[in-house]
Chain A
């Protein structure tokens, strides 16, 4: 009987023990959790990774199917650096996770059929968004606040490209989509849809974050990485074609279909023109905008003026890179 109990206890604790020891092992390579599979949007990031590797950074990346999984992987210590805007995770779980670089801004656009020509027209009208509690849901909340309207039924279809399909197929009359999909749909079906005028948003869509203890313990690696990112972001803002030129033909982006590679120049030219990438890596300006935005959007609790930037961002690597 005692033997049975001992076996039972061993069987119950073994998976936990294996899990803990696996996450406790510190690999020499830094482990990067991507929130999506490599695509044109990640080309600039991979160029920065290549530059960082040339400066001695050893890394490996894993693509997760969504941002929340990438955040959870960093919170659990299975990954070192992740993609996303984990503000609610930082506030609610009190995890010592900090953002170190703003990768892209939340540049999304309300696109509708010709039925509507201003945001006010959308009062009481149904709208198609990404997911409840997600970025576009937040944008919808802030539009309601700023414009003084209330949307009708919100339905959710993840992925801007999928919402474009629904819009073109006539399953929806209004949605909020990202810059590249907005440009694509207006190029192909500009006669059928309107892009409604939108206020400027400086908040982050994607940012790079990691566990603060890990950042401090790996300050040199993090510095190489942030230096490379800042360099690429500045070069890209000066000349968007640098991304296509520096894309490693044997890397994950170089292996994408030729049509995507050929469209990289247009994609980054439009992105830079639309202000998607901050040449200064976000920093304090982005942090302030984020706290205000994510509070308005309901992801952060409390008055944004009482929130402390240091609880969410770790500026040292970016400050050092700027100098």
Chain B
């Protein structure tokens, strides 16, 4: 029963949002704002013609490379930051500044250093995704329950045992929360880089559709990247529930 109710509520929230979109498009709030159904028709056209798949091959490349780098290096750095005060003082400020930096304003600097190719775009994804992963991981590791750690030591656990068997499992919900937030930020970074550096992939569909006033295609492209981001986040949540069953503690909702 609770499952079906949650499904109904989720569907209802979709109906409310898309319904409001349809109504706003029909008023219309702007000549540049298409209805929900027009946008979906454009999405179907792009899917049938294969245009959107070609675009995603372009967009996903910097996104996946950037997210993999951010996840692996970010979690490793976060663990280290959480475990060592010295390293915390040395590294944390960099990520706090990165998180607070107005990235769009820094893009010309990145382009100057790394050019207009893939490297700059991967950097934008990393700058968006990594700070939140590092800082969340570090916070979770630092706040691992002391009583569990002491119990581990009293059972003659080694430092490695404590990290692998106590700290990481207890920190996993927050680490995954950081990964999910980092992934969302990475998606934003990927699109930002395609809009601000050189228009390729989905960024190209958005700018091109806008320049020829094909607004339904523009909103369809934006909608598709949002759907992809949600699906990817869902996948992460499922991964978390699979690997850390019983330790999710309410962070991964479904």
Contact = CB atoms under 8 A, between A and B. Distances in A.
Interface in A87-137: 88-89, 91-95, 97, 131-134
B213 A88 contact: yes
B211 A12 contact: no
Contacts of A76: 29-33
Interface string A66-92: 001001100111000000001011011
A19 B29 contact: yes
B31 A93 contact: yes
A77 B204 contact: no
Interface in B179-237: 198-199, 204, 207-208, 210-215
B29 A93 contact: no
A307 interface: no
B148 interface: no
B31 A94 contact: yes
Contacts, number: 69
Contact of B208 (A71, A72, A133): A133
B31 A131 contact: no
Interface residues of B, number: 21
Interface in B81-98: none
Contact of B20 (A12, A19, A156): A12
Contacts of B215: 92-93
Contacts of A71: 32, 213
B191 to A, nearest CB: 16
A75 B32 contact: yes
Say which size band chain A's interface belongs to.
20 to 34
B32 A133 contact: no
A89 B199 contact: no
A157 B115 CA distance: 11
B30 A131 contact: no
Interface string A155-179: 1110000000010000100000000
B198 A156 contact: yes
B76 interface: no
Contacts of B213: 71, 86, 88-89, 91-93
Label chain B's interface by main secondary structure.
loop
B207 A16 contact: no
- Most chain B beta-carbon contacts within 10 A, residue among A19, A20, A131: A131
Nearest to B116: A157
Contacts of A72: 30, 32, 210
Interface in A9-56: 12, 16, 19-20
Contact of A132 (B31, B115, B116, B211): B211
A86 B210 CA distance: 11
Nearest to A96: B31
Contacts of B29: 16, 19-20, 76
Given A68-B210, A155-B198, A16 B24 contact: yes
A252 B98 CA distance: 34
B115 to A, nearest CB: 8
Contact of B211 (A77, A91, A131, A157): A131
B205 to A, nearest CB: 9
B30 A12 contact: no
Interface of A: 12, 16, 19-20, 68, 71-72, 75-77, 86, 88-89, 91-95, 97, 131-134, 155-157, 166, 171, 298-299
What are the 10 A-B residue pairs with the smallest beta carbon separation, nearest first?
A76-B30, A95-B31, A89-B213, A133-B211, A88-B213, A93-B31, A75-B31, A75-B32, A132-B208, A72-B32
Given A92-B212, A92-B215, 10 more contacts: A68-B211, A71-B32, A88-B214, A89-B31, A93-B213, A97-B31, A133-B207, A156-B199, A157-B198, A171-B115
6 contacts: A16-B24, A71-B32, A72-B32, A132-B204, A156-B198, A156-B199
